[in-house]
């Protein structure tokens, strides 16, 4: 019994210490910052600038500001620990009494069952030694309103965390036992459509919705905090669960972050929250550094990147395809890019809730976002034209579609990516309303290439492919037609009939298939309330725009462009004269790009077919698939994936004599390679195989056949 009491007291003290540390991270001058709050606190414990009648559903429920201020006063009093601390504590207790007396609630269940109980529990932990039995009992009673019995994912984690705190405060070991056991079961790899951590380390919430940067970010932060909190006690997470949490952070979360920004493609309706940030993951990394010695170095590097303190050795390079979420990310030292898609296995985004996300219809229609420092789209969203999300091809409506149609399930199965860990390609058989297209994005080192083929629309609305819509941060230059002279654009968007390339602030756009574009810088306006945060606030933003105009009544249109994230005007001009990327095919049946410097081909075979690489190598696939093939003098590396996310045996024939697993050489010197692609939770994952070139005399090879 004594050990139980000691452990519960230890956990309560740890919680208070962690809350103070978190408050200091947000406000380094915590005690000084608490003084104005104390000065404005009224004798009965309320603040007269808070509207306690507010019933906003999401985002900024104004009444909740009372609890946030209470937490600040309580943390400051805990830190001061002197006469000033006592004064702060008295104020915090007055504020606590005011809330307990009025017991404010909200029409949204989340506030009543999670938001309020969580904040009340934190205040009680910080003020524990000063509470009367009546105050403690009233606060604990509010915490009992959380019912997590039917929850999963992050909603479940919030619930069990509240019960853990409640059990510590009330001295109820059985409550802590139950909550800790349920937490352990939730830190699992989801199967058969479950919410939570997916087999590819993306995160789903609200059924089949990618939410790694929303609920999934909170899941990472809260589970890491709980892991550190419970470390060394009866309820400590097992080594297996610690390993899984670190993998979620390092194989999932960090691949979706640039600087302090979580990729807006993966945050769900939280894209409409002002100041949305990934910085909370720094604390998650710090917590996991405490409990996972094996990956401490990687966790520390991720933390330093989030804090803006990274050395060159801390930077991330590689490519990841999240096959459970139709999502690809590409990291290089100087930039990050991603493609977000949706299939008949996934919903495009979340439902509108509390008014959030009312214009998010096209966020999964092949959205291709580019970040260098991470601030390219920060808080641009009230001024965004949401019908021109970068990378999307849209049947451009006169007005935004109805709110009720924001969330939709894809209709096509052939949506996915192939990745060898360094390079990758994403492809999408796309349909929305009367618009159909085949879209693909090919990621290399210095550049990535975007292709569209078979773009057809039955309506008479204009069809547009948005290339970019981001903060304007420099001059815009254009090379067009046969002229050697550059044109430098001033404010205003204008049409360019025959563009060769565009450069905006060191990002280059090379048009490999010239087609009319609109480009320029314009002042755009909007209100935060229009996109659903519940906060009034007019935004006026200078925006760089670039889109391709396909016209009306489009049939079998196409486009092709390369994006160079780090290039000067001079370098762009030289690159455009002899680009190393070359389109081998851009049709509804096959899209393929060859990179001459890397000696690599990337191809989307929407149906069985043959691809020739400049009459040197011929590749034939017998099943639709996605393919990467990188060649060197001694070997080829072949990587395949099935974007339909089911097990598949693929036969690939290459017009070279090769040996390796699954190889069968034919009499004409070509080789058939048979590869089995996985099913189950790993359906859609890429498989690589290294194939060795024969150095023997070709006649001897043919004579031996396949022996």
The reported pLDDT for the residue numbered 538 is 87
Judged against a pLDDT cut of 90, whether residue 104 lies above it is answered with yes
| Shared-domain flag, residues 573 and 612 | no
Rounded average pLDDT over 455-466: 95
Sheet holding 393-395, edge to edge: 393-395, 463-471, 538-551, 517-527, 492-496
Residue 560 phi, psi (nearest 5): -155, 125
CATH, residue 664 = 2.60.220.10
Q: Is 356 within a domain?
A: yes
Judged against a pLDDT cut of 70, whether residue 698 lies above it is answered with no
Binned at pLDDT 50, 70 and 90, residue 633 comes out as confident
Between residues 217 and 80, the one the model is more confident about = 217
The reported pLDDT for the residue numbered 616 is 84
Number of domains within the chain: 3
Q: What is the pLDDT of residues 561-588, one digit of tens each?
A: 999 999 999 999 999 999 999 999 999 9
Q: Identify any residues that bridge with 520 across adjacent strands, giving them in sequence order.
A: 545
| Shared-domain flag, residues 551 and 694 | no
Binned at pLDDT 50, 70 and 90, residue 536 comes out as low
The reported pLDDT for the residue numbered 529 is 86
Binned at pLDDT 50, 70 and 90, residue 82 comes out as confident
Rounded average pLDDT over 291-315: 96
| Shared-domain flag, residues 552 and 508 | yes
Judged against a pLDDT cut of 70, whether residue 534 lies above it is answered with no
User: Of 149, 181, 212, which residue constitutes the final position of a domain?
Assistant: 149
| Shared-domain flag, residues 534 and 620 | no
Q: Is 182 within a domain?
A: no
Q: What is the 3-state secondary structure (H, E, C) of 114-179?
A: HHHHHHHHHHHHHCHHHCCHHHHHHHHHHHCCCCCCCCCHHHHHHHHHHHHHHHHHHCCHHHHHHH
Binned at pLDDT 50, 70 and 90, residue 702 comes out as very low
Residue 669 phi, psi (nearest 5): 90, 0
Q: What is the pLDDT of residues 337-353, one digit of tens each?
A: 999 999 999 999 999 88
Domain span holding position 699 = 608-707
CA atoms within 13 A on the CB side of 571: 12
The reported pLDDT for the residue numbered 695 is 65
Q: Is 285 within a domain?
A: no
| Shared-domain flag, residues 619 and 556 | no
Q: What is the pLDDT of residues 16-37, one digit of tens each?
A: 999 998 899 888 999 999 999 9
Q: What is the pLDDT of residues 166-201, one digit of tens each?
A: 999 999 999 999 999 999 999 999 999 999 999 999
| Shared-domain flag, residues 499 and 642 | no
Q: What is the pLDDT of residues 313-333, one digit of tens each?
A: 999 999 999 999 999 999 999
* Structural element, H or E, at residue 101: helix 83-102
Residues 328 and 351 sit within 8 Å (Cβ to Cβ): no
The reported pLDDT for the residue numbered 47 is 98
For residue 391, which of 315, 350, 443 has the smallest C-alpha distance?
443
| Shared-domain flag, residues 617 and 661 | yes
Rounded average pLDDT over 122-139: 96
Judged against a pLDDT cut of 50, whether residue 208 lies above it is answered with yes
Residues 336 and 443 sit within 8 Å (Cβ to Cβ): no
């Amino acid at each position: 019994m004594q050990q139980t009491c000691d452990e519960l007291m230890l956990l309560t003290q740890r919680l208070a210490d962690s809350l103070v540390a978190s408050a200091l991270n947000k406000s380094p001058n915590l005690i000084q910052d608490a003084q104005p709050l104390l000065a404005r606190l009224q004798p009965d414990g309320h603040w007269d600038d808070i509207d306690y009648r507010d019933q906003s559903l999401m985002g900024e429920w104004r009444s909740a500001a009372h609890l946030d201020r209470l937490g600040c006063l309580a943390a400051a009093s805990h830190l001061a620990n002197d006469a000033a601390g006592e004064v702060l504590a008295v104020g915090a207790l007055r504020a606590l009494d005011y809330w307990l007396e009025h017991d404010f609630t909200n029409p949204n269940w989340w506030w009543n069952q999670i938001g309020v109980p969580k904040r009340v529990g934190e205040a009680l932990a910080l003020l524990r030694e000063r509470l009367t039995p009546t105050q403690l009992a009233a606060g604990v009673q509010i915490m009992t309103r959380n019912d997590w019995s039917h929850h999963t994912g992050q909603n479940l984690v919030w619930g069990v965390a509240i019960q853990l705190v409640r059990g510590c405060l009330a001295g109820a070991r059985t409550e802590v036992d139950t909550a800790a056991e349920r937490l352990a079961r939730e830190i699992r790899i989801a199967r058969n459509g479950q919410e939570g951590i997916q087999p590819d380390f993306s995160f789903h919430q609200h059924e089949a919705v990618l939410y790694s940067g929303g609920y999934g970010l909170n899941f990472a932060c809260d589970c890491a905090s709980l892991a550190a909190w419970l470390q060394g006690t009866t309820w400590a997470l097992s080594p297996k669960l610690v390993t899984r949490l670190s993998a979620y952070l390092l194989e999932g979360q960090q691949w979706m972050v640039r600087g302090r920004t979580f990729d807006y493609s993966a945050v769900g309706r939280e894209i409409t929250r002002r100041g949305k940030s990934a910085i909370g993951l720094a604390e998650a990394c710090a917590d996991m550094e405490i409990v996972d010695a094996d990956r401490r170095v990687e966790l520390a590097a991720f933390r330093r990147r989030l804090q803006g303190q990274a050395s060159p050795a801390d930077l991330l390079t590689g490519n990841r395809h999240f096959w459970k979420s139709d999502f690809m990310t590409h990291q290089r030292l100087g930039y990050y890019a991603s493609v977000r898609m949706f299939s008949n296995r996934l919903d495009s985004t979340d439902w509108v809730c509390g008014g959030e996300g009312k214009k998010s219809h096209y966020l999964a229609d092949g959205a291709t976002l580019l970040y260098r420092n991470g601030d390219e789209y920060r808080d641009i969203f009230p001024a965004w034209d949401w019908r021109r999300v970068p990378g999307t091809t849209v049947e451009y409506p006169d007005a935004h579609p109805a709110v009720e149609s924001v969330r939709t399930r894809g209709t096509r199965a052939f949506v996915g990516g192939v990745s060898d860990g360094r390079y990758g390609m994403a492809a999408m058989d796309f349909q929305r309303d009367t618009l159909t297209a085949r879209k693909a994005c090919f990621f290399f080192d210095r550049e990535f290439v975007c292709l569209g083929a078979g773009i057809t629309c039955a309506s008479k609305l204009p069809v547009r492919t948005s290339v970019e819509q981001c903060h304007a941060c420099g001059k815009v230059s254009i090379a067009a037609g046969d002229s050697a002279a550059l044109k430098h654009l001033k404010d205003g968007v204008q049409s360019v009939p025959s563009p060769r390339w565009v450069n905006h602030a060191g990002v280059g756009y090379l048009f490999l298939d010239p087609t009319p574009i609109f480009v320029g810088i314009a002042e755009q306006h909007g209100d935060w309330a229009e996109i659903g945060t519940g906060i009034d606030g007019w935004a006026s933003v200078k925006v760089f725009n670039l889109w391709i105009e396909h016209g009306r009544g489009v049939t079998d249109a196409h486009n092709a462009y390369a994006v160079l994230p780090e290039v000067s005007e001079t370098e762009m001009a030289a690159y455009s004269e002899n680009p190393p990327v070359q389109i081998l095919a851009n049709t509804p049946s096959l899209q393929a790009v060859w990179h001459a410097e890397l000696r690599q081909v990337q191809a989307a075979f929407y149906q069985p077919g043959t691809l020739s690489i400049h009459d040197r190598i011929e590749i034939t696939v017998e099943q639709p698939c996605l393919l990467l093939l990188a060649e060197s003098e001694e070997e080829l590396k072949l990587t395949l994936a099935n974007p339909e996310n089911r097990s598949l045996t693929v036969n690939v024939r290459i017009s070279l004599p090769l040996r390796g697993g699954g190889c069968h050489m034919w009499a004409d010197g070509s080789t058939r390679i048979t590869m089995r692609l996985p099913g189950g939770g790993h359906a859609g994952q890429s498989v690589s195989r290294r194939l060795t070139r024969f150095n023997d005399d070709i006649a001897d090879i043919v004579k031996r056949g396949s022996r």
